[in-house]
Structure 1
Amino acid sequence: MARVLKVSAPLDSAPLDFAAVRAEFDVPTDFPAEVLAEADRVAADPPLPEHDATDLPLVTIDPPGARDLDQAMHLARTDGGYRVSYAIADVGAFVPLGSAIDAEARRRGQTVYCPDGRTPLHPPQLSEGAASLLPGELRPAALWTIDLDAEGEVTAVDLRRARVRSRAQLDYASVGADVPPELELLPEIGRLLQARARDRGAIELGTPSQEVEAGPDGGWTVVFRGQSDVEDWNAQISLLTGRCAARLMLDGGVGVLRTLPPADPGAIAALRRLAPGLGVDWPDGATPGEVIAGLDPAQPRHAAFLDAAASLLRGAAYTAFDGTPPAEPGHGGVGGPYAHVTAPLRRLVDRFGTEVCLALAAGGQPSAELRAALPELPALMAASDRRTHAVERAVVDLVEATLLAGRVGEVFDAVVLDTEEKRSTVVLTDLAVQARCDGRLTPGDRVRVRLTAADPATRAVRFEPA
């Protein structure tokens, strides 16, 4: 199961107004009538490809209760290694370019998740119905078949539209407790792919995310949540597919990549200077990714180091090209070229990336209409990412401020994550709260801090050294 490092007491106040947060950041709400009508029409008559892959015993792995199921997989051993079969929801079959659903999806960019529900990218009759890879249902999919050798290197890739039927909807906890036959190779393949990622110099921080969850009394609580092994291995399958997609695009001379510049040498040198003071061993010749892979984010000094290591992963963007590939097509976090294609129900760019790859894999080229749409995607996704990140931060800030309201003046134990000239960032050890603290402190140190502000109206939380 995912590790919850520290859990706060649940809020017992009145329900928080997350709708006001969504309104503040202009998150689209209801779908226009013409979009819903169009979704009803295409959902009533799903397009099914000729290629029949319903014999594949595919399964999905998602959080409990999820209905927007983008991916289903099956893993098998071959004479020379492994075969990964990865079915991705064929959203492009339901959403033609220029349609009302397409225009609305471009306006939204991605699904926005809040504690009280999601604001979907596509109408629910598609995202949670006809296009979702729900168990037992016949569905159109973009089926990736990726062969790996015994060391986890790609030897062959096939992509085509296919009809599929998922056998079961699993969640991370159940797979971790009892691996089903369809996924019995997931730990083996997942570890191989992690090893190859380290060989490529990939940087995977693995820092816990700060999330808002429902409390047992109907209120809300903030938690720090790390990824389980099953989630990490599952993510490796998605990353593998994204790397294969990027290779198709680069070979075909057209596509949209997820890019991230290589880590700045100055940032690496600064991180290396920080390591000894935080008790982090950095052997000669070791890459940042190799050092980071050996750390435990539950340890305060390691957590401070990982927070500082985020400086190595700045500058992510979407890069569209048609003809000459970008000068720097790689993704520093992945350790090579990479494209988003595995979450089309929830992220706009994945539908376009999948359509490009399907055309190239069939030996053709994307349509002129599809090629014309690619240059718009980086700006659309950048705006959507900014809005989504702002909503997520505001939601956490609101819950933190409400949790601490009325406790101004109290002293808390904390760990210093980072520091600037006049202020630092601390995380409390007994509550899952991360906030600014006045003064320059030493990263990794355990400190006592006094709460000086906790205002739900402004979502502000501030501390000072005690």
Structure 2
Amino acid sequence: MAARDPRRVDSDSLSAARADVAADQGPVEADPVPSGGTDFTGIRREFGLPVEFPVPALTEAEQAAVTSESCPARSEATGLPLVTVDPPGAKDLDQAVLLERTERGGFRVRYAVADMAAFVPPGGELERETLRRGQSLYLPDGTVPLHPTLLSESAASLLPEQVRPAVLWTIELDDTGTVVGVDLRRATVRSVAALDYESVLRSFEADAPHPSLAPLPEVGELLRERTMHRGAIELGLPEQRVELSREQGWRLGLRSRTWPEVFNAEISLLTGMCAAEIMLSAGVGVLRTVPEPEEAAVARLRRTAERLGIPWPAEQGPAEFLAGLDPRRSESLALHVAGTGLLRGAGYTAFSGSTPTSPSHAGIGAAYAHVTAPLRRLVDRFCAEICLAVVTGSPIPGWVSERIEELPSVMGNSDRLASRVERACVAQVQSWELAGRVGESFTATVLRTEPTGQAGEVFVGEPPVIARCVGAGSVEGRSLPVRLAEVDPARRRVLFEVANHTPVLSGAR
């Protein structure tokens, strides 16, 4: 699995939009640790990752697991044939979906999200521990969870054929995919099936999809069209993942997304955008924000395109330009890497009593909030409570109001930690996989160059490695032969060189 499959939140290196969607859709379950090989204990120790939950927090979780049904009044929705769609083996199931066609030619999206407010007592030790963690961290050899697994993988998880407390969103779409109605309420639900992306894909290929997902291709296409129309900046970058081979141990692969995963992610995006509009209408909430690209960043990208010989019409915006690139060209890969400069400044914006001046998420093309992954991300629990209060006309709970201003810092810190841990895991596996291959030649694509012009960052396709390369500072976007010059697994460092350049070991990635 990828370190966070890949839950990338570092907008300096990857698309913040894709990061948020990937996070909402969940991780791949960690494979068993190789019996005789290396593990990631050193990374856990280096970053001070917690091993266990404090005993008082576990005690609260144990009590909540058996008393949650006594929590606030709920609508009875166990008759809805909701299904979960996640990576194979996932146990922390946040969302369950039901798609229906309406009589007017539109669609009804029912989206049940695990209700973690039913399991985390305000002001208790468990709440304090979740505030300390911020989000679940996914390493190849196991998870550092936000909540004890007796909640996140059992009592609170939307496991099949289990009655669970949930926040049930009902979103009405017309035949163009435009939202024409939104409702949400606390409910009790029962998922009828736990599906994964590959099985969903096969079911459609066999013309036998689960009835609850039958409209997914139509709904997904409509939502994708609206995403493009909004000018969402999406970057087509290689997604490295860490895989487990019984013969070779940990190794790198490239992760590709199937259309069911892409379309399912659009439903999470849709829900998050509806949540943002609810909070903006009330003047209170927490948004996930990415500023619009600065003119200087767009100008730099235009210069890169010109240098690579790729036409960019003056009237065309960066989102449309990037979306139209031919993914088969190495120059396109370099331009998408350069495009990360358009998505800097990802963060969280808290507001109360007024509307934020910059509420938008440039990677999505709209205002957006996290509400669909509360088992794995702290802020979702708080945003769900705000939305419920606004829609039902109830006061926002005090435990939410007291924390609103604190959440951006908590989430920002946990995002940075998650990104650092992910990069460390990938860099570690790169160095393990390339150890013993110093001197071998590879074909690489130059992704970016350093200001000195003496070095750059390259992508090698097999194994899929991104690393520093001496002598690659003036051929951005081109393919060229490189030689593996240095590998240092202890420091997680890899260095390539172009012919006729003397390698100097430097920092990894």
Where on the TM-score scale, by shorter chain, does this alignment land: which range? over 0.9
Residue 212 (structure 2) aligns with:
182
Asked if the contact 1:69–1:134 (Cα under 8 Å) also holds between the matched residues in 2, the reply is: yes
Deviation of the 1:294 alpha carbon: 3.1
Deviation string for 1:397-422 (max 9, x for gaps)? Answer: 11111111122222211111111223
Give structure 1 stretches of 5+ with no counterpart: 3-10
Out of 92, 104, 108, which is 1:68 matched to?
92
Who is 1:375 aligned against? Answer: 405
Sequence identity (%): 52
SS of residue paired to 2:266: helix
Match of 1:50 in 2: 74
1:132-174 residue CA offsets vs partner (Å, 9 max, x unmatched): 0000000000000000111111111001000000010111111
Q: Could you tell me which residue of structure 1 aligns to residue 494 of structure 2?
A: 461
Determine the C-alpha separation between the residues in 2 that align with 1:203 and 1:149.
Answer: 25
Deviates more, 1:161-170 or 1:301-310: 301-310
**Residues 86 and 145 in structure 1, CA contact (< 8 A), matched pair in contact too:** yes
Quick check: 349-358 or 270-279, which moved more?
Answer: 270-279
SS of the aligned residue for 1:370 comes to helix
**Secondary structure of the structure 2 residue equivalent to 1:425:** strand
Question: Which residue in 1 is equivalent to 2:484?
Answer: 451
| Structure 2 residue 108 is the aligned partner of structure 1 residue 83 | yes
Return the offset for 1:311.
1.0
**In 1, Cα distance between the equivalents of 2:426 and 2:468?**
14
Structure 2: segments with no counterpart, 5+ residues:
3-32, 204-208, 500-509
Contact between 2:484 and 2:496, CA under 8 Å: does it hold in 1? yes
Tell me by how many angstroms 1:17 deviates.
2.7
**Does structure 2 conserve the Cα–Cα contact (< 8 Å) formed by 1:208 and 1:227?**
no
Q: How far apart are the structure 1 equivalents of 2:440 and 2:316?
A: 43
Give runs of aligned pairs for residues 171-210 of structure 1, distance below 5 A.
171-178=196-203, 179-210=209-240
Q: Answer yes or no: is 1:129 the counterpart of 2:151.
A: no
Partner of 2:261: 231
- 1:359-409 deviation per Cα after TM superposition (whole angstroms, max 9, x unaligned): 111112312331111111111111111111111111111111111112222
Rounded Cα–Cα distance in structure 1 between residues aligned with 2:445 and 2:404 = 45
Give the Cα–Cα distance (whole angstroms) in 2 for the partners of residues 12 and 157 of structure 1: 47
- Bigger Cα displacement from structure 2, 354-363 vs 222-231: 222-231
Query: Could you say if the C-alpha distance between residues 277 and 187 of structure 1 is closer, same or farther in structure 2, counting changes exceeding 3 Å?
Result: farther
Write the distance in 2 (CA, Å) between the matches of 1:365 and 1:207.
Answer: 43
Q: How far has the Cα of 1:300 moved from its partner? A: 2.1
Distance in 1, Cα, partners of 2:170 & 2:391:
12
Corresponding residue SS for 1:402: helix
CA distance in 2, matches of 1:292, 1:437: 26
Given the superposition, is the C-alpha separation of residues 12 and 251 from structure 1 closer, same or farther in structure 2, using an over 3 Å criterion?
closer
Counterpart of 1:173 in 2: which secondary structure? helix
- Residue 84 of structure 1 and its aligned partner are, at CA, apart by 0.5
TM-score by length of 1: 0.94
Matched, 1:147 2:169: no
Deviation at 1:211, TM superposition (A): 1.3
Distance apart, 1:350 and its partner CA: 0.7
Letter in 2 for 1:72: A
**CA 1:56–1:98 in 2, change beyond 3 Å: closer, same or farther?**
same
What amino acid sits opposite 1:434 in the alignment?
Answer: I
Partner SS for 2:267? helix
- Equivalents in 2 of 1:369, 1:394: separation in Å? 35
Encode CA deviations 1:177-211: one digit per residue, 9 max, x unaligned. 11322111111111111111111111122323111
Distance (whole Å) between structure 1 residues aligned to residue 149 and residue 470 of structure 2: 46
Q: What's the Cα RMSD here? A: 1.8
How much has 1:275 moved relative to structure 2?
2.6
Q: Equivalent residue of 1:45, what SS?
A: helix
- Cα distance between partner residues in 2 of 1:299 and 1:47: 55
What is aligned with 2:142? 117
Deviation at 1:254, TM superposition (A): 0.7
| Counterparts in 2 of 1:98 and 1:289: CA distance versus 1, 3 Å | same
Pairwise CA distance, 1:276: 4.7
Do 1:308 and 1:418's aligned partners in 2 also have CA atoms closer than 8 Å?
Answer: yes
Q: Any idea what the Cα deviations from partners look like across 1:208-255, whole Å, max 9, x if unmatched?
A: 311111113261110121322111111110010000000110111110
* Distance in 2 between residues matched to 1:137 and 1:58, nearest whole Å: 11
Does residue 22 (structure 1) correspond to residue 44 (structure 2)? The answer is: yes
Task: Provide the C-alpha distance between the structure 1 equivalents of 2:258 and 2:380, rounded to a whole number of angstroms.
Answer: 25
1:75 Cα shift? 0.6
Per-residue deviation at 1:279? Answer: 5.8
Give the match for residue 5 of structure 2: none
Q: Helix, strand or coil for the counterpart of 1:167?
A: strand
Instruction: Quickly say closer, same or farther: Cα 1:395–1:429, change in 2 above 3 A.
Output: same
Contact 1:341 1:349 survives alignment (8 Å):
yes
- The residue number in structure 1 matching 2:24 is none
State the match for 1:428 in structure 2. Answer: 460
Kept after mapping to 1: 8 A contact 2:74/2:185: no
Q: Is the deviation greater in 255-264 or in 417-426?
A: 417-426
Aligned to 1:419: 449
Which range moves more in the overlay, 158-167 or 38-47?
A: 38-47
Alignment of 1:384 onto 2:409 = no
Q: Residues of 2 paired with 1:144 and 1:280: CA distance?
A: 44
Query: Residue 416 of structure 1 contacts residue 441 of structure 1 at CA under 8 Å; is this kept in 2?
Result: no
In the other structure, the counterpart of 1:362 is 392
Counterpart position of 1:308: 338
CA contact (8 A) 1:342 1:350 kept: yes
The whole-number CA distance in structure 2 between the counterparts of 1:292 and 1:228 is: 20
Q: Bigger shift: 79-88 or 14-23? A: 14-23
Please say which of residues 149-158 and 278-287 is displaced more in the overlay.
Answer: 278-287
SS across alignment from 1:165: strand
Could you report, residue by residue, the CA deviation over 1:306-336 in whole angstroms, capped at 9, with x for unpaired residues?
A: 1111111110100111111211111111111
Q: Which amino acid aligns with 2:470?
A: D
Aligned partners of 1:52 and 1:35: how far apart in 2?
Answer: 30
**Contact 2:39–2:141 (8 Å) recurs in 1:** no
| Cα shift at 1:293 | 2.5
| Alpha-carbon offset, residue 280 of structure 1 | 4.3
TM-score by length of 2: 0.86
Superposed displacement of residue 291, structure 1:
2.5
Q: CA deviation at 1:44?
A: 1.7
Alignment partners' CA distance in 2, 1:50 and 1:376: 29
For 2:421 and 2:107, the matched residues in 1 are separated by: 41
Higher mean C-alpha displacement, 400-409 vs 69-78:
400-409
